[in-house]
Chain A
Amino acid sequence: MADEAAPVLDVRGLTTVFHTRQGEIHAVNAVSFALKRGEVLGVVGESGSGKSVTMMSLVGLLPTPPAEVRAGQVMLGTRDLLQMSAKDLSDVRGAKVGFVFQDPMTSLNPVFTVENQICEPLTRHMGLSKAQARARSVELLELVGIPDAAKRVKYYPHQFSGGMRQRVMIAIALACEPDLLIADEPTTALDVTIQAQIIELMKDLQKKLGMAIIWITHDMGVIAGIADRVMVMYGGQVVEHAPVDQIFHSPQHPYTRALLRTIPTITGKREARLSVIEGQPPIMAQAPKACPFGARCAHHFARCDAENPQRRPLDCLPLGQGHDVACHWSAEVGYA
């Protein structure tokens, strides 16, 4: 890649709405972020905050209808993915962007062997012959740490354990050496010991191949271990965005703070009682006119109901490169 500093992916103002019988659901509201080559962006947030829908919108994986990507620009290199034909987009998905889903069984085809499923993108996008693709698929399984790969490549998905299936998914996503890997909760269903294996593997591959990674997870521990920068979502919006150390050491959004307070640790002080975030997340039936976290926020004041706060940089870096937060209270008062 010629320009190391140019973003691999640049997303601006992405807005996605679902049309349901009960009316619209504003799942993603004007989300913007960018990734450089070799960078890992961690995405965290409450269940239903729009993490998966954001990433599926980027690469055209949502069924339309009910979904509608209403606004935004998604630049992958020099091309806007939102303007592409369905066919071009499916080529991009196979060759430039790899996707690892939370549940591997939904995306592995049960009636084909794993070899079949890894070879398909290799012959289609990489121009490999059948024999070359077969050899490469064994290498890929070895790369993701599956023992006895030459034999197991002939297996069907159900013949693998959960952890191995997850690794097969990763092998498929990596087959064409994508510029960008999107991993949606790739390890939540796994045990900590297998989780650790996969995280080490991804870090390793990311160094070797220099790809950018978007990693969605509920687990702040995983974020601490793998992310360079962190994007916190709430109610379909980005509420805070910062380098990983700043998210953990000086979180500025009251939601980020509350989230970090609710998680117990295995080495820190053991609290007598866990702290909780009272209340419920918003319904998102319309485009937000107020702060989505307002109703649950300890610092809530009049302006929070009157106006949805915009992201505001806390340093002199351009938005999305340093630390920014969308919060009226933090703008007017802020944590000491």
Chain B
Amino acid sequence: MRDASAPDLVQVDGLKMYFPVYSGVLRRHSGDIKAVDDVSFTIRAGETLGLVGESGCGKSTLGRAMLRLYDPTAGRVVIDGEDIARLSPEALRKKRPTMQMVFQDPQASLNPRMSLSSIIGEPLVEHTALTTAQRQDRIYELMDQVGLNRRFANRFPHEFSGGQRQRIGIARALALNPKFIVCDEPIAALDVSIQAQVVNLLEDLQDKLGLTYLFISHDLSMVRHIADRVAVMYLGRIVELSPRDDLYARPLHPYAEALLSAVNEPNPERARTRSRILLKGDLPSPANPPKGCNFCTRCPKVFDRCLTEKPALVQVEPGRKVACHLFQTLKPTAGSTGGFHTQDDFQQGVTL
């Protein structure tokens, strides 16, 4: 862990992001896709929080709502002391430089008709008063930082490899000295040998610039490498939030357990002897989640209470939070976390 005593840079509290569903000839509002449904957590300054979970569980939506690329349905997102969810458009524009996003598909997120230096320079034009010469210096500085040769400044995106394109995306995200970066599957589109280069780069930049990351990924081995703590999401809700080593050594939530048991380890003997928890069925629709625990339709340990009551995300061990009735008899350890944590421990409990 980088610094357990560092202050929280990001505080998310009761965040909901619903997408309305309209149906019938009159296009009446007939329901909501609950992509993110009452999520609370914090990220310390300089920390990397990993976010994992099945496709469609709401990871990207959460990341986007946190940066207010969507207008959240409810909840607070405090970044560096200001509630993003409630800022006026003008205040939000001023705030933008501190928070950035790196996207999954570097190809799709770079304008093919812009040269590398205009792609990296664009946010500088929009948000700073730098002269042309100062801007060029900053562009070169950023290219150096992410390991792009200065000679490439006038090339276009299609002339780069996947790993190089992802570096361009990172340089652009760094242009305005952000404090917080949401990395949404930044390595998923890359070859294995290039993934390692990009992850090393993200770590170097964090050490040098003190960045705080939300690292969204399918790849549980890579998350183990990069994250300090990990949030496991299922159908719009966080089911477990634990320090990295605790989670990988002993996942508590049955979904986290199934997820980790399904990871394919590059080791033939282990593959032959280990036992996998195979989940039955598919993810339920987020427009029509189960009445009780969202995982109850697939959980191998389901019991009566799970079918009727949504479990709250509560602290069950120091630093570990789980939303599961199996653990709810344990009382949260009082006073072991800051005021904010204690408050959100009970946040979901009230909605029973």
Contacts and interface: CB of A to CB of B under 8 A. Distances in A.
Interface of A: 46-47, 147, 161-164, 190-197, 199-200, 218-226, 244-245, 248, 258-260, 262-267, 270-271, 273-277, 280
15 contacts: A193-B278, A193-B279, A195-B262, A196-B262, A197-B279, A199-B264, A221-B266, A224-B266, A225-B265, A259-B192, A264-B224, A266-B263, A267-B270, A270-B224, A273-B203
Interface in B248-288: 248, 258-271, 276, 278-279, 281-283
A164 B191 CA distance: 26
B276 A221 contact: no
Max chain A Cβ within 10 angstroms of own Cβ: one of B222, B266, B281: B266
Please report whether the interface of chain A is mostly helix, strand, loop or mixed according to DSSP: helix
A260 B265 CA distance: 12
- Pick the 9 closest A-B CB pairs, nearest first: A221-B264, A274-B196, A196-B262, A225-B271, A220-B266, A277-B193, A192-B262, A264-B225, A47-B191
Contacts of B282: 161, 163-164, 194
B154 interface: no
B326 interface: no
A219 B264 CA distance: 8
Contacts of A196: 261-262, 264, 276, 278
Contacts, number: 117
B109 interface: no
A236 to B, nearest CB: 16
A248 B266 contact: yes
Contacts of B246: none
Contacts of A248: 266-268
Contacts of B337: none
A280 B196 contact: no
B55 A147 contact: no
A292 to B, nearest CB: 14
A275 B196 contact: yes
Nearest to B264: A221
B111 interface: no
B55 A224 contact: no
Contact of A267 (B161, B191, B265, B281): B265
B166 to A, nearest CB: 13
Contacts of B263: 192, 221, 266
Given A46-B191, A191-B218, A258-B193, A263 B266 contact: yes
B265 A224 contact: yes
Given A192-B262, A225-B271, A260-B266, A266 B248 contact: yes
Nearest to B276: A196
A258 B225 CA distance: 18
Interface string B194-224: 0111011001000000000000001011101
Given A224-B267, A225-B271, A244-B268, A264 B262 contact: no
Interface string B308-328: 000000000000000000000
A112 B299 CA distance: 35
Interface in B48-71: 54-55
Contacts of B224: 264-266, 270
Max chain B Cβ within 10 angstroms of own Cβ: one of A248, A265, A277: A265
Interface string B109-145: 0000000000000000000000000000000000000
A266 B268 contact: no
A192 B220 contact: yes
Contacts of B267: 224, 248, 265
Max chain B Cβ within 10 angstroms of own Cβ: one of A46, A194, A219: A194
Nearest to B55: A191
Given A161-B283, A192-B218, 18 more contacts: A46-B193, A47-B162, A147-B281, A162-B55, A190-B55, A191-B55, A193-B278, A194-B282, A220-B266, A224-B265, A225-B264, A245-B269, A248-B268, A262-B192, A264-B225, A276-B197, A277-B193, A280-B161
Nearest to A201: B278
A48 to B, nearest CB: 8
A264 B221 contact: yes
A211 B234 CA distance: 36
